[in-house]
Amino acid sequence: MQIKRWVAQASMRQWCLLGLLMSCFMMAVALYLQYGVGLEPCPLCIFQRVAVISAGVVFLIGAIHNPGKSGGLVYALLALIAVLTGIGVAGRHVWLQTLPPDSVPSCGPGLDYMMDMLPLWDVMARVLHGSGECAAVEGALWGVTLPQWTLLGFVVMATIPVMMLVSRLRYSGRTVREPAGQAS
């Protein structure tokens, strides 16, 4: 009952701070794995980081702005777009890792080289097509690969803008019902 009450009463700032916290946690794990453990991110990993950072920026601006209903809907939709993009990229990464070895795309040039030499749309198409380095399973925790953990993180993060939308649409214009016998 307390969770339902919090969902109904949470301000956009609280929702955005929760989303920002989740984004910061995901980036902290990614940076620890890169600099602490030494795992180099593949191009799809970098695109997933862009999605996390994009959602985090939307949540940060939303927390600072603390908008009303219509502004909150805009921030929720923008955050949801960023998170759904991350889900798509992470899902593609998981799919690439499940391919049989003979079906894995060949390794292409590095992301830095492609960004220097190709138009942005071509870079995005090539990265999303995947490469051999994206299909390599470099680490797992409890039998779950890093892209699977990232996909799970994005799914959990997606609940935040969804709940922002639900709370604004469902509870707009009314307050949580007071216990019987008490006046407002």
Reported confidence tier of residue 76, pLDDT bands at 50, 70, 90: very high
- Helices 146-170 and 2-9: crossing angle in degrees, nearest 10, is 70
- Provide CATH code, domain 9-98+139-170: 1.20.1550.10
| Closest by Cα among 2, 155, 172 to 72 | 172
Residue 175 pLDDT level (bands cut at 50, 70, 90): very low
Closest-CA residue to 72 (of 158, 14, 154): 14
Contact 134, 91 (CB under 8 A): no
Letter for the amino acid at 140? Answer: A
What confidence score (pLDDT) does residue 127 get? 64
Q: What single-letter DSSP state applies at residue 141?
A: E
pLDDT of residue 116: 74
- pTM more than 0.85: no
Structure tokens at 173: 């214009």
What residues does each domain of the chain span? 9-98+139-170
How far, in Å, CA of 108 to CA of 111, rounded? 9
